[in-house]
Amino acid sequence: MPSERKVIVVGGGLAGLMATMKLAEAGVQVQLFSLVPVKRSHSVCAQGGINGAVNLRGEGDSPQLHFEDTITGGDFLNHQPPVMRMCERAPAIIYLLDRMGVPFNRTSEGLLSFRRFGGTLKHRTAYAGATTGQQLLYALDEQVRRHEVDGRVHKFEGWDFLGLVKRADGSCSGIVAQDLRTMRIESFPADAVVICTGGNGLLFGRSTNSIINTGSPVSICYQEGAIYGNPEMVQIHPTAIPGEDKCRLISESVRGEGGRLWTPKDPNDLRPPASLPESDRWYFCEELDPVYGNLLSRDIVSFAIYCVCRMGKGVAAKEQVYLDITHLHKKLGMSRELINDKLEGVLEIYEKFMREDPIDTPMRIYPAVHYTMGGLWVDYERGHDGAIDLQSPRNQMTSIPGLFAAGECEYQYHGANRLGANALLSCLYGGEIASQGVQAYLSSLETGWESLDSKALDDARMRRQEEFDFALRSNGSENPYALHAELADVLWNKCGIWRMQRDLETAAVELDDLAARAKQCAQLDDSDWVNQSAPFTRALGHMIEMAKATRGRRPGPQRISGRPLQNGLPAARRRGMAADDEGPLYSVGA
């Protein structure tokens, strides 16, 4: 391998930082592109923890049980060899983070503390209060900054990914990006590109995602020929605070520490919730499954809440139920200090936006779009023993040679439903294994990025420059922000927690109409410095293309199958969302 290889990593969250760190450690030059300062990446919002079967409680936990819970939770649509390897690596990754200085909570003996999360009966989630994502992101960024000082890493913060640069053989050899301060568009050559740009929650409008999570980079790769897997697999988190601008996540860690979901048996009972006796409360999840109780997997809990509210049994007959931790202090005697030590970040968010102390008053919550299980199709290769071959250049590579993906923007680890606290793990492991796949790919190259034809770079840049110039000159009548609100309404109401064939057919027509109208947007800002309107208009078109895939091609009700209980709740077992083993795969024109 030539001495000076160069790799571009797009996305500064956990997956991007892990890939960058590992590549830099291997002596590879890395250019890291991020839409925002890396410490503002959406990984910072993760609250609950990171899974790993360390088994410090002596519960008989193991990577094998972690693997079984993960693939069962995903309706067996996960890629099993990569998932097995991820679960085997999880304890080592947690201890690596511990050595980096992540302030994980600890037991009185000084050992790492683990909590339960949904979809499992074991305590396997390591956590740093309720700000685990922030602590992990900051720790990794400090490691990457060491390599910046050494000259191995060069950050491009405040740059928007616009497209790929390809060689004549179709392989990826760079990217086109735009500086969002000067609005300058440039092309950047590289030997390989790693996409780590997160999910597409903004398609649904008010999600728990940051407003930067448009899914635009993945949509661009999809439109340039990359296969997209399981696009309709979108996770609805059961507990969020609805808001006018976005939904605020109430972490699963609240239920992991003993939080209980309930509604008054009489929806018209207007007494203060803390004063209702147990006999007047309906703990619907505990009735649905007495073993898992409030820690059923997220898809089931979300659907149960949806059913309760659809039957008119929500709090005050509205779309909300109670998430209650008041008993921890009032009945179990847990001190406020201990509760805050474990959940302070979450409780602060609720108190800030709802003006109520959740230690004294039950929280009011409702499901919201949270995570994208689908994403860019990525490959893997098995060795002779059936396990993943760690030396294969196919690992984490998309259908475009030289283009890799890791984190929430790819599809193989979670299947139809992600278990809580597997997100941070899959981001870190995905970034790690992607770096190994990239290194193997670089070893197979006969020529480097220096040999890339300058015409390919210029053509890719000019294509994106012409698109941007056209957007600046656009004089249509449509407001891009109003169109986005319509897009969110279509997806949430027709492609959200409940999907029916007639709604999906209607959604297809409405999305085609939105796509046509998006080409007639009025340009709200024609300035050539820090212009926020034009990039949003551009992203809107990519979001609509992704929405068409998210709608899915296998219409039918998305529901939990099984015999209903007498109270109208569905039986607590799995829905079947796809007709084949891996779920649907999509490419443009399919």
Cite the active site residues. 298
Q: Which amino acid is at 333?
A: G
DSSP reduced 3-state for 520: coil
Residue 247 DSSP one-character state = P
Give, in order, the Cα–Cα distances in Å from 570 to each of 234, 299, 510: 20, 12, 31
Q: Helix 132-149 crosses helix 14-25 at what angle (to 10 degrees)? A: 30
Tokens of 408: 């929430």
The Cα–Cα gap between 419 and 69 comes to 8
Spatial strand order of the sheet with 375-376 comes to 375-376, 228-229, 585-586
Segment 344-353 long-range contacts (CB within 8 Å, at least 24 positions apart): 344/129, 344/130, 345/47, 345/129, 345/130, 345/131, 346/47, 346/130, 346/249, 346/250, 346/251, 346/253, 346/254, 347/130, 349/241, 349/248, 349/249, 349/250, 350/241, 350/248, 350/250, 353/241, 353/243, 353/248
Give, in order, the Cα–Cα distances in Å from 12 to each of 147, 248, 289, 370: 15, 22, 39, 19
CA angle 252, 254, 260 (to 5 degrees): 100
Residue 207: exposure state from Cβ atoms within 10 A (0-12, 13-18, ≥19)? buried
The Cα–Cα gap between 344 and 129 comes to 7
The Cα–Cα gap between 398 and 410 comes to 9
Backbone φ/ψ region at 562: left (φ over 0), alpha (ψ -120 to 50), beta: left
What DSSP letter does each residue of 434-500 carry, written as one string? HHHHHHHHHHH-SS-GGGS-HHHHHHHHHHHHHHHHHHHH-B-SB-HHHHHHHHHHHHHHHSSSS--
Phi first, then psi, for residue 384 (nearest 5°) are: -65, -25
* Tokens 């891996």 sit on residue: 582
